[in-house]
Amino acid sequence: MPAQRTYRTLNPATGELLREFAFIDNADLEAKLATAHAAHLAWRDVPISEKVALFLAVADLIEARLPELAHQATLEMGKVLPHSMAEGSGAVDMFRYYAKHGEELLADELIEVPGFAKVILRREAVGVVLGIEPWNAPLYQAMRATAPNLMLGNTVLVKPAEICAGSTLMYDEIFREAGFPEGCYQTVLATPEQCSTLIADDRIRAVTLTGSDRAGSAVGAQASKHIKPVVLELGGSDAFIVLDSADVDVAAGTAAACRLVLGGQACALPKRVIVTDGIADEFTEKYVAAFAGQVLGDPFDEKSTVGPMSSQAAADLLQEQMEDAIEKGATVLLAGGKVDGPGSYFAPAVIAGVTPEMRVYREEPFGPLGMIFRVADAEAAVALANDNPYGLGGAVFGAEEEAMRIAARLDTGGVGINAFLGSPTEVPFGGTKRSGVGRELGRSGMDQFANMKTYGIGG
């Protein structure tokens, strides 16, 4: 790794350098890992009641510092300030959820087994968990890896995305102020090579990654080599199916809003709108109108509804994907694209007539690009929805019975019926195919990283 390389955070609205952070050196990384391992040996035995009190203290501190945290996330990532505020609120909700339900989620399960007086299934902590987290929601993602593991009794090292390091580092101070024992949570500004070293270390007992399928493939292979549990929450190109029986106003408004939140830069956002013929014209008109009504601008300006993309590289890639589709025959319903001038601004755009020869048919377009696919009927909608390498989530809008029937045939980890499901704290979140393996949140958020230990008591 060249010595001059650093974590560099830029303001995507201006392109200006905000700060450079040095990569952690190997001696400091070893010290953090040793501290995390030692902390686990004590933290795993802390009573639930004490953990709950600390969780509530963290939730209160995040809530109190939400304006500061959201400002930092918007400064580094570019999404409009209300979206960063909502993201931080999601982290607050996670800690309060596990504080409220931790005892029941960790309760022993009694299993009747012939020949035994009692058999107990108990969820026990395993050790230090490494979380490798993305740039699009740094306040939320880091805590999605952290909250369930800490309640279980594991300790956590979080490696943040290089372009949003400042946002994640703010959590270290919050955990200290809340009174958590040293080493329970730590941010590590590690290199990819250092992450590989961590995964190979016996003190790291599990790994979770949210990111691209390419990164997931690499980390998954390393975890498998060292026989360690791994959760991979990867890309998504979710289908938003609108049937003839749908409420078109609600469907169009929901589809547009979901596509544009966080500037369209999230794996769980529905990127492919699939509409049946009977209502396609009406839906398209309203969907395009919603995109056209967006205000692109400074993410701190309360009038702006869409800010810049996270980086020039991200905007360039989306522009290339859109131009490829247009060159190969896609219809432009709303012209948009990269905006000249400072910053990585991309005006919301909508295209239709996407075919398998186009990159956006298979690739994940990460940004404010809407795509409408018109199909003959519900059967064609299912076939098109599943003809994709990703299987994270999806949505079906229509009469409930019909929508449920269609949803059951989607090869995804979750699906919303006349609603956008997203990733509520209470339910498992994850996908199929190239969208990853394993689940986060809910009870699954702990079970993936627990030793599911069975005690058989003879009678």
Beta-strand relationship, 390-391 and 331-334: unpaired
Q: Which residues contact 330 (CB under 8 A, 6 or more apart)?
A: 351, 352, 353, 354, 355, 358
Token couple for 316: 């360039």
Which amino acid, 450? A
Q: Which residues contact 336 (CB under 8 A, 6 or more apart)?
A: 291, 346, 347, 348, 349, 350, 368, 369
Are the CB atoms for 426 and 100 separated by under 8 Å? Answer: no
Residue with tokens 């309640």: 151
Residues 28, 157: Cα–Cα separation, whole Å: 13
Residues 63, 447: Cα–Cα separation, whole Å: 27
Q: Burial, 147: exposed, middle or buried (Cβ in 10 Å; 0-12, 13-18, 19+)?
A: buried
- One of 233, 258, 364, 440 is an active-site residue; which one? 233
- One of 164, 184, 195, 267 is an active-site residue; which one? 267
The DSSP call for residue 308 is -
Residues 20, 68: Cα–Cα separation, whole Å: 19
User: Does the active-site annotation cover 233?
Assistant: yes
Residues 314, 320: Cα–Cα separation, whole Å: 10
Q: What is the CA radius of gyration of the chain?
A: 23
The DSSP call for residue 44 is T
Q: Which residues carry out catalysis?
A: 233, 267
